[in-house]
Structure 1
Amino acid sequence: MVAMIVSHRAMLVGGGSLGQLGRLLGQFGLGRPLVVTDPWMVSSGTVERCLAPLREAGMRPGVFSETVPDPTDTVVEAGVAALRAGDYDCLVGFGGGSPMDTAKAIALLAGRDGSGGGPISRYKVPASADHAALPVICVPTTAGTGSEATRFTVITDTARDEKMLIAGLAALPLAAVVDYELTFSVPPRTTADTGIDSLTHALEAFVSKRANPHSDMLARSAMALIAPNLRTVYARPRDAAAREAMMLGATQAGLAFSNSSVALVHGMSRPIGAHFHVPHGLSNAMLLPAVTAFGLESALPRYAEAARAMGIAGTADSDRAAGDRLLGELRALNRDLAVPTPKEYGIPSQQWQGLMATMAEQALASGSPANNPRVPDAAEIVKLYEEVYAG
């Protein structure tokens, strides 16, 4: 098996590392950044934590803050216009997954034929998006999406209510700053959702049909960091050691699935987000126990090894016992972190039922379900949506 391994050219990792952002850009000969962030980062003043080290380095950064929780093609087009209105030589994605994904998509479209080269739907999987106009530097403020480490971006096609997976070297950041101190103020719900998202990245990367020794190493390490610390950061947000472990684990999980793939959970999760605007990490959490149970028998040794990496099974446990412990832990994690079912979230039954077939088609079209240990057909995905709805 030949695996193509991709990663950044540099990462700054550790508490307070954001203070060196200007120096990092300077090392690459960059000095005219456009910071892509969200409205809350601006209104709360949090964006100043990103802008200050750039100004201290003598730079005059611009700010594009129109990003939305599920990045859309229209917001990306607005970002391209903002980029072209200034004299910028790089993009800095500052925030959660949405600003980082938006920055990646802006960089992809900005170089196309001088006019934006849209629509961005032309680059969705199975197309390969390998050529970006400008480099992107990512600064995550949550421990979850892993976008700072991946060759993927997810953008919603507003005309079709479809979350499009876009993959290629154009979406791979040049560098990242991974500073866990930025996560101290993240609220418990977001901490839980992004944390389960990162755990899902690691687990799916590990059991994916496209897993390889490099992604396995990263996925094991990520699971070992995330699983023992997720409940801690949910209950004690200012626990520095747990926050640091979660941040590092989330980045490692991003690197893991960027070099293998995600699978059925993500394939089914994106349509839920597109149609019902459920946060991505939360929709993953809703799906994770049922989808894991669906695939368990098809890759029991791998799931058992994942349980051991997470510290919920030991070497003396049989694969069967370890697999059962994994399912029990995923269900318990959802209970402990107050993850609602789609029904409890407030999604009407009639609307959910009416869209299940469409969501199943969109999940399959993304390609992610094909990486699952047990590859479903559309009818099996519909059945899983039915099962997950009421828990």
Structure 2
Amino acid sequence: MNFQGIFDFNLRTNLLFGEGSVAKITNVVQKEGFQRVLVICDKGIQQANILTFVTDELERSGAEYVVFSDVEANPTTTNVNHCMEILNRFQPDFLIGVGGGSPLDVAKAVSLLATNGGKIEEYEGIDTFEKDPLPLLAVPTTAGTGSEVTIFTVITNPETEYKLTAGGKRLAPKWAVMDPELTRTLPPHITAATGMDALVHAIESYTSTATYPLTETLALEAIRVISSNLRQAVFNGDNMKARTAMLYGSLIAGVSFNNTRLGNVHAMSHPLSAMYNVPHGVANSVLLPYVMTFNLPAAPEKFVDIAKAMGEYIDPEVSMMENAYTSIKAVERLAKDVFIAKDFSRYHVKKEDIQTMAEDAMKSGNVLVNPRKTRIEDIIALYEETVGESAGNEAQLVTE
């Protein structure tokens, strides 16, 4: 561990974690004196009756509330604008985001616009807004995004097919209620994809050039917890020990990368999601082994640590490099075991779009902290490996 220099650790969110913690929403609303609440979610949350966990608490609190449920996967500026129309009519003093990363990202964007005005496109970058966002409580229903503690929101502009990132320390939710019971009915394929997303967060945070001892400790623990519980959560959703562990692993991975940023996997996944609507977790999972292979020579000792955290045997009789490569095999085996597609052939990504995607990826600040210095030619080569015409697709998602 490198203890040189000064680090600024950020965690602005009050965490309420554990089975039954959703009941604490009433306490927050009443203690803070909130009267009017806008709840932001997606249709799946409503259809699965997960939303009632939250609305029942709001009814107990005595606060008025309305629900905006038109958030789509890979949320767009259109979603944000429509939600703002509801907000401007209802004039809430409190926001609650319920769901995976998409509803939580829309909730963050709306919290920013509620007090600063304008369009979310005007706030790309870090600390580009002046006024504190409207208070926000996040209720994650997946174990993957870490969005309940992060200072970023990622929104797609459908006109330009570009994912913009807005952020700042004040954008993190003020509260996060993390009740693993709300993840119990998550379908296997979403459990798998979001779980792999959380693993990518941990691995990229651990290998980031901006990491330091505290974030390294969190990232390695997240790698250990996620890799030893994801299979169980996918194949038995009622296994609450595994569900709780996955939610915890996702949380600490989010706390870690919130302070370090990520790397080339996330830089490259955003254009794929924006242009081809590839689910974020799937995009990250497919890209991960390729980017790990690219990065490994720059920090082999870190990849040995990752292998150890994933339960791999480290052979003292072989070289560091050989042991480091076992981390990639472990990642590939985990993705295969939970039936994540191993390439993008099902999404019909066009090779002629690689140049545009690479240019967009290079705009990401994540490239700057990737452990291996990266040129646009490198990104192009990595895309070509994953979307080439000869790429196979033997693995299938658990649930189509």
Q: TM-score range by the shorter chain?
A: over 0.9
**Match for residue 22 of structure 2 among 6, 18, 42:** 18
Task: Report the CA distance between 1:314 and its aligned residue.
Answer: 4.6
**Match for residue 82 of structure 1 among 74, 80, 86:** 86
Task: Report the CA distance between 1:20 and its aligned residue.
Answer: 1.7
Secondary structure of residue in 2 paired with 1:268: helix
Q: Using the alignment, how far apart are the partners of 2:131 and 2:198 within structure 1?
A: 27
Q: Using the alignment, how far apart are the partners of 2:237 and 2:81 within structure 1?
A: 36
TM-score of the two chains, using structure 1 as the length reference: 0.94
For structure 1, which segment, 207-216 or 100-109, has the greater mean C-alpha deviation from structure 2 after superposition?
207-216
Residues 164, 366 of structure 1: 8 Å contact kept: no
Residues 226, 245 of structure 2: 8 Å contact kept: yes
Residues 132, 170 of structure 2: 8 Å contact kept: yes
TM-score of the two chains, using structure 2 as the length reference: 0.92
Task: Report the CA distance between 1:315 and its aligned residue.
Answer: 8.7
Q: Using the alignment, how far apart are the partners of 1:79 and 1:91 within structure 2?
A: 11
Task: Summarize the Cα distance change of 1:125–1:205 in structure 2 as closer, same or farther, 3 Å threshold.
Answer: same
* Correspondence for 1:356: 354
Letter in 1 for 2:378: E
Residues 130, 169 of structure 1: 8 Å contact kept: no
Q: Using the alignment, how far apart are the partners of 1:315 and 1:57 within structure 2?
A: 58
Secondary structure of residue in 1 paired with 2:62: coil
Task: Report the CA distance between 1:312 and its aligned residue.
Answer: 2.1
Q: Using the alignment, how far apart are the partners of 1:130 and 1:232 within structure 2?
A: 45
Q: Using the alignment, how far apart are the partners of 1:277 and 1:54 within structure 2?
A: 34
* Correspondence 1:1-391 to 2 at 5 A: 1-112=5-116, 116-118=117-119, 120-125=120-125, 128-129=128-129, 131-314=131-314, 319-348=320-349, 351=350, 353-389=351-387, 390=391
Q: What are the superposed Cα offsets for residues 143-179 of structure 1, whole Å, 9 maximum, x if unpaired?
A: 0011001011100012210011222124211010111
Q: Using the alignment, how far apart are the partners of 1:53 and 1:314 within structure 2?
A: 49
Q: What are the superposed Cα offsets for residues 336-369 of structure 1, whole Å, 9 maximum, x if unpaired?
A: 1222244432415xx2x11101101100101211
Q: What are the superposed Cα offsets for residues 44-74 of structure 1, whole Å, 9 maximum, x if unpaired?
A: 4321111101111222222111111111111
Task: Report the CA distance between 1:132 and its aligned residue.
Answer: 3.7
Q: What are the superposed Cα offsets for residues 235-266 of structure 1, whole Å, 9 maximum, x if unpaired?
A: 11111111110000001111110011111100
Residues 34, 93 of structure 2: 8 Å contact kept: yes
Residues 303, 325 of structure 2: 8 Å contact kept: no
Task: Summarize the Cα distance change of 1:81–1:304 in structure 2 as closer, same or farther, 3 Å threshold.
Answer: same
Letter in 1 for 2:286: M
Secondary structure of residue in 1 paired with 2:133: coil
Unaligned runs of 5+ in 2: 393-400
Unaligned runs of 5+ in 1: none
Aligned pairs, number: 384
Percent identical residues = 35
For structure 1, which segment, 334-343 or 321-330, has the greater mean C-alpha deviation from structure 2 after superposition?
334-343
Secondary structure of residue in 2 paired with 1:311: coil
For structure 1, which segment, 178-187 or 4-13, has the greater mean C-alpha deviation from structure 2 after superposition?
4-13
Secondary structure of residue in 2 paired with 1:148: coil
Residues 96, 139 of structure 2: 8 Å contact kept: yes
Letter in 2 for 1:66: D
Q: Using the alignment, how far apart are the partners of 1:132 and 1:164 within structure 2?
A: 20
